[in-house]
Structure formats: C-alpha cells, structure tokens
Chains A and B, each alone.
Chain A
Amino acid sequence: MRLPTWDEVNSDEEQLNVLETPLDESLFVAGPPGSGKTSLAVWRAATLAEWYKKQIPVVTYNRMLRRTLKLAADDNEIGIDVSTMQSFVWQDYQRRTHNSPPTVPPDPFAYRWQSMIDRLQGTEPDYNSLVVDEAQDLPAEFFLYASRYVAGTMAVFADDDQALSRQRSTLEQIKMAAGLPHPKILGENHRNTPEIARLAEHFHSGRLPAATIRRSHTGDVPRLVRSGSITSTTRRIANEFQNRGGSIGVIVEQNSTGRSTYESLRDKLPGSRVARYANELRNEDSIDVRLPGITVLNKESVKGQEFDTVFILELDRFIPCTSDSELRTMYMMCSRARDNLYLVYGPEPLSTEAEAALPWSDVLER
C-alpha cells in the first residue's frame, strides 16, 4: 500500500485569514505582540468603509495609539476616523442626548455606564460597523454600550495577556458584552527577533500560545545593564543612536526620570529627533515614533508601539513581578523592541528577588 505524504496529510490546513470574514459579520481577533493586530484593524476599517460607502469609526485605548493608527492608515493612503474610547463615547452620547455623559466625580472620564445605557434604551445603532483595537484595556461596559447603540457589527482586536489598565476586560467579558463569536488567534510574530521574543516569553503569564517567530536569529541577545547615573544611561543611549541609528524607545516608570532623561538626551544629540511623550503634554501629534530618533515615554504610552531598539529604564521598579499585572507589563514592554533590547537598572544593585526574576544569561546577557 502507498502511505500518504506530509503534504497530503496537511492539505486541509487552512491559512488563517481573518480579513476574509464576511463584512456583515462581527470579527473577534486575539493576537500576541507583533502579530499585526493594528494593521489588520486598519485594513478592516478601510474595507468596511469602502463596502458600506460610509465612514467606519475606529476606537482605541489612548491618544498615542490613536496617533499610531492614523499614521498606519496614512502610510497606506487610507482615510479612517480614529478616536480614543473616552472621546468617542463622550461625543456619541452628547450627540444623541444633547447631554454630557454622567460621570463619577472627581474623574471626568469615569462614565456611569448603566445610566447611559438605560437612557439610550429604544434607540438604534448609527453605524454599520465599529472597529476596536487594544480592546483588552477598555471596560466591558463599553462593549455593551457599543453593541447596543453604536454599531450592528464589530471588529474587535485584543490581547488580554498584555492588559494594563484597571478597567481592563478579559476576552470572555468582551465576547459576552459585545455578542462576538469565539476569537481567532493570530499565530505569527513578525516583529521581534527570536532573541527578544524569548525574553518577552519569560514574562508571559497569559493563555495565548507563544507565536511562531518569523524573523531570523541575529545573535543580538537582550542585555542587562547597570548604570551609575542618568548621565551614564543617556550616554549609552546616545551612543547606540549614533552607532546604529533607527528608532529608539526609552521606557521609564516615573515621569521625573522621563523628564531628566529627555533633557540629557536632547543636550547630547542636538539636531537629532529627541522627543518625550506624556499624556499631560498632549503632544502626540508632533511625534512620529517610527522616524530615526529617540522617544522617551512611560509604560502606559508605549502600549502598541514598536521601535528598532528599546531601553527599559528603572528596571528595579518593574521587577520582581509580584502579580500577573506586573508580568503583563514586562511582557508588553519587552515585545516593543524589533532588534535590540536593553534592561537598565542602577545605581543600586538589583535585589536578590529582582535578580531571581530574570532568566539565565543565554536569554539575557549580563
């Protein structure tokens, strides 16, 4: 008898193509870092807009992500209408009721979802579809609101293994609130080198499978660096920029460190692009993190971004990870780097616990 060959056995293997999901159906996609969620979100929005011949709103978590989505769309000459969830809901509610959304003081963005949902009862969705990126960091109530009053169908992109915010939602909560099908998992990582992905995986605490790494080994293993002062840290960053160029992201825990790092880098690299983004500066539209140069930002703002090289400063404030939320932070931050990654601490040595939280030197070079 002739036995089947590997190709015959695998002939039924379907390529996962989430964009082939019919346009009048909802779509739920879960994908690890580097799997292309944001690009897919942009394409889905563009395809839907063309099909319905109407603008399809795209909603994301923060303003830096809104900027990233816009830049990705501009690159492909796609016109999309992106908002943060907070401003989208504010405007949507205001337009429908001629009132501002009720909030829980003192936070002007802590919406009273239940009373808003009750108030809109009986009204119909305005849009054909809604696209949501970084959905894991949005509250579950938003998905209830959106599925009832914003759009008939939704395309939702999420990774709850990277969720940071307090109001975050699990995939189950999103699915239930928005009435979505089971999520499709994206399985390939096109961003990180295998060396970087391996370090990120060390901090991975969630349930999505580790993606298949599509990039080749470079031999550049992430490095653990002790630095005596901000000046010596910025000297190293400036050297890296002068030697390799490209886009560099510098992630800090404290805004004060961000400020002094930024000032020191700006002095060292006159004439080069050195920027600092902070939520309160509201300067996202003047920054393009993809261009050669350095961007200093905090963990919240670095979500969904990517750089050729990443420096994570104040490592001693991020490890040891004592909760899943701290692990998710490390996992998300490490996977921002495409080619090179440095974890920087000092001037004090790492605590025994922090040291123990790090992988062996084949994964993180000392």
Chain B
Amino acid sequence: MLLYAYWNQRRHLEELTEAFNQLFSMNRPTEPLIAIDLGCGPFTGGLALAGQLGNEERFDYIGVDRSQSMREFGEQLAVVAESLPGTPQVERHWAADISSVAWHEPLGWRPVIVIVSFLLASPTLQVEALMVELEHLLQRLSRGATTVLYTNSPKAGPNRGFPKFSEALKDADFRRVADEIGTIETERRTLELRYALFHRGQQHTLRLGGH
C-alpha cells in the first residue's frame, strides 16, 4: 500500500503542484481557503497546495479517503511537511467518507477548492451519490466561491464518469472554466493529462423553502 502510494503520489503530486502553480501564478484567494481532497491518498492535494501557497497563507484541508492507512500516512506526511520552512499552517480534517467530515466552524464565506484527482477512475464510484454528498458538505462549510479541480489520466476508461460529473456540476450552478486533454511541464517531466476546472460564485441568494 505504502509503496503504491509513494509511486502514484509522486506523479499526482507533480501534476497538482503544476496545476496550483498556474492557478495561483498571478493572484491568491483573499480569505483562507478550505480545500476538500476527494480520494485524497496520502495528503497529496494538501502537499501540492501547501507548496504553492507559501507560509503566509493558512488553509483548512479536508482529506477524504476510504483507506485508514492512507489517511494515517497522509497525517504523517503532513506533520513532516509542517516542520519544513516556507510551509503554510494547515488545519487538517480526515474522514473516511464525505458525510462523516467533522466541521466545527460556523458556516461562512471562505473560498473552497475541491480536488477531484484520479477519483473517477474507480469503476465502483457512484457519481450521483458523490455529488449529493459533496453538495451537502459544501452547504455546511461555506457559501463562498467554490472551484472544482479535476485531473485524470487522458485515457477514456478512467474518465467514463466525467460526463455525469460535469452534468451534475452544471445542475448545481457550476460554470465550466476549462476542460482539456494535453500536456503540462513539471520540473521533472512532461505529463499527459485530462484537466477540467469548474467554478460557482458566492451564493448570495438564500433559497427559502415553501413558496
């Protein structure tokens, strides 16, 4: 498991690092981010984000992964990362699934970034159920602007859930900002990937029940 995590982690980490590098190349969020990493593995999205944000920022990291050993390994990596200079303060919240995420801050307006990296490659994943749970979680965390970052292998198979995923986001008022298959240059190599980004602005309208 750890060996698997290590080899995969390396590629995913490079990829997400480059994605965040480009995302935050000009500007950064003005309020502390909440990052939700779905199928997080060992803190992969958290490491990539921490590396790009630098030590002046702080963010909350919600790592969701079914595997307990992966979450534990993630926490170990996070502790090591925390001791390195130039790393932001990261408040970590680990959960086995989206519905069991513990969140004690009041609902607010902080920007949220949802990392969906290689998650849809899993053939057993139920996209509709995932989206319902994700929306539920978002409603507990923030009415702030929400960005969904999707990366995957460029191959068709691992992306079979993408059309449904994309459609569900559209139904939830997300706008598709980017959707491409191409290559990105990381420090070590050229990586081929499927990259998509969705965004929903702050939710200022309070939809009341009834009429």
Query: Is A185 in the interface zone, CB < 8 Å from B?
Result: yes
Q: Which A residues lie within 8 Å of B27 (CB)? A: 5-7
With A10-B145, A209-B106 given, is the CB distance from A5 to B206 under 8 Å?
A: no
Q: Which A residues lie within 8 Å of B205 (CB)? A: 182-185
**Segment 188-202 of B: residues with Cβ below 8 Å from A:** 195, 197, 199, 201-202
Q: How far is the CA of A16 from the CA of B203 in the complex (A)?
A: 10
CB distance from B77 to the nearest CB of A (A): 25
With A5-B23, A10-B145, A182-B206 given, is the CB distance from A209 to B108 under 8 Å?
A: yes
Query: Is B25 in the interface zone, CB < 8 Å from A?
Result: yes
> Contacting B211 at CB < 8 Å: which of A1, A4, A176?
A176
Query: Is B147 in the interface zone, CB < 8 Å from A?
Result: yes
**1/0 per position for B79-122, CB-CB distance to A under 8 A?**
00000000000000000000000000011110000000000000
Q: Is the CB of A4 within 8 A of B197?
A: yes
CB distance from B138 to the nearest CB of A (A): 12
Q: How far is the CA of A92 from the CA of B147 in the complex (A)?
A: 51
Query: Is B183 in the interface zone, CB < 8 Å from A?
Result: yes
The residue of chain A having its C-beta at the shortest distance from the C-beta of B143 within the complex is: A209
With A13-B202, A187-B204 given, is the CB distance from A6 to B183 under 8 Å?
A: no
Q: Is the CB of A3 within 8 A of B143?
A: no
Q: How far is the CA of A207 from the CA of B207 in the complex (A)?
A: 12
Q: Is the CB of A2 within 8 A of B210?
A: no
Q: How far is the CA of A207 from the CA of B206 in the complex (A)?
A: 10
Q: Is the CB of A3 within 8 A of B107?
A: no
Q: Is the CB of B201 within 8 A of A5?
A: no
Q: How far is the CA of A175 from the CA of B206 in the complex (A)?
A: 11
Query: Is B180 in the interface zone, CB < 8 Å from A?
Result: yes
Q: Is the CB of B145 within 8 A of A13?
A: yes
CB distance from B60 to the nearest CB of A (A): 14
Query: Is A124 in the interface zone, CB < 8 Å from B?
Result: no
Q: How far is the CA of A14 from the CA of B120 in the complex (A)?
A: 31
The residue of chain A having its C-beta at the shortest distance from the C-beta of B108 within the complex is: A210
Q: Is the CB of A210 within 8 A of B207?
A: no
> Contacting A13 at CB < 8 Å: which of B142, B184, B201, B206?
B201
Interface centre among A4, A7, A14, A16 (most CB of B within 10 A): A4
Query: Is A9 in the interface zone, CB < 8 Å from B?
Result: yes
Q: Which A residues lie within 8 Å of B24 (CB)? A: 5-6
Q: Which A residues lie within 8 Å of B164 (CB)? A: none
CB distance from A71 to the nearest CB of B (A): 29
Q: Which A residues lie within 8 Å of B204 (CB)? A: 14, 16, 184-185, 187
**Segment 10-55 of B: residues with Cβ below 8 Å from A:** 18-19, 22-29, 31
Q: Is the CB of A7 within 8 A of B26?
A: yes
Q: How far is the CA of A135 from the CA of B134 in the complex (A)?
A: 34
**Segment 7-26 of A: residues with Cβ below 8 Å from B:** 7-10, 12-14, 16
**1/0 per position for B140-173, CB-CB distance to A under 8 A?**
0011010100000000000000000000000000
Q: Is the CB of A183 within 8 A of B208?
A: yes
Q: How far is the CA of A344 from the CA of B27 in the complex (A)?
A: 45
The 7 closest A-B pairs by CB, nearest first: A1-B182, A3-B22, A210-B106, A209-B107, A210-B108, A16-B204, A13-B201
